[in-house]
């Protein structure tokens, strides 16, 4: 399983790099609206929760290279089109 924070060792120093997650909102007609990008899993979870409080639409965060959905809000009964995972 890949590490949440990929690390590189440079000159005997370890440098941690947070993954970037894209945040999307799914409108009732199935359209996806990109809400932005955040660095770090905890930030992605926080942003999804924050947006979920402001909208009744499904909100999700995904790690785009793998299409893994790492956080969701308002996903019960929401339509999911265009290949979005539940």
pLDDT of residue 75: 82
pLDDT of residue 83: 40
Residues with Cβ < 8 Å from 67, sequence gap 6 or more? 83, 85
Residue 20: CA count within 13 A, CB half-sphere: 5
pLDDT of residue 81: 37
pLDDT of residue 6: 46
What pTM value is reported for the model?
Answer: 0.69
pLDDT of residue 2: 44
What residues of the chain score a pLDDT lower than 70? 1-17, 77-86
pLDDT of residue 3: 43
Task: Find out whether 45 and 66 touch, Cβ atoms under 8 Å.
Answer: no
């Amino acid at each position: 399983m890949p590490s949440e924070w990929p690390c590189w060792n440079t000159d005997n120093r370890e440098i941690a790099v947070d993954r970037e997650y894209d945040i999307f909102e799914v409108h009732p007609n199935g359209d996806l609206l990109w809400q932005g990008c955040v660095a770090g899993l905890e930030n992605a979870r926080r942003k999804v929760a924050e947006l979920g409080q402001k909208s009744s639409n499904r909100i999700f965060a995904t790690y785009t290279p793998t299409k893994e959905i790492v956080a969701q809000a308002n996903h019960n009964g929401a339509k999911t089109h265009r290949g979005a995972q539940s």
